[in-house]
Amino acid sequence: MILLAFFLAHAGFMAFALSMARHRRDLHLKPIGARRATGLRICGYGLLGIAIWPCWILFALSVGIIVWIGILSAAAISLTVLLAWPPFLAMWSKAFHLTASMAERLREAVR
């Protein structure tokens, strides 16, 4: 049930991200109109609201709200890492390629 709450919160934050032009550009997606962006924001609010339900069932309402806020934080952090990962991965793959090519040249020079 906790995973259900996490995935609902993650989907809600993803809907928010997809409603923003900047994140759509980062993901190489086509721009959308204002009406569809509003629909994605409403969907995001709905998914975040529904994410409290599993927490409420597992725990009492007082503890469930605290757990829900923690799950929202974890989902937001994971989505932030996922959205920031491609440039980070590209940077490290270039660094790895540069290091590997330098090592290859050094090995050939030693022969």
The distance of Cα 41 from the centroid of its chain, to the nearest Å, equals 16
Query: Which has more confidence, 110 or 44?
Result: 44
Could you tell me the residue ranges of all domains in the chain? Answer: 2-84
Predicted TM-score (pTM) of this structure: 0.74
Q: pLDDT-derived band of residue 1, with 50, 70 and 90 as boundaries? A: confident
Mean per-residue pLDDT, 73-101: 73
CA distances for 111 relative to 58, 98, 103, 105, angstroms: 66, 20, 13, 10
Mean per-residue pLDDT, 19-44: 88
Mean per-residue pLDDT, 43-49: 94
Distance CA 20, CA 34 (A): 10
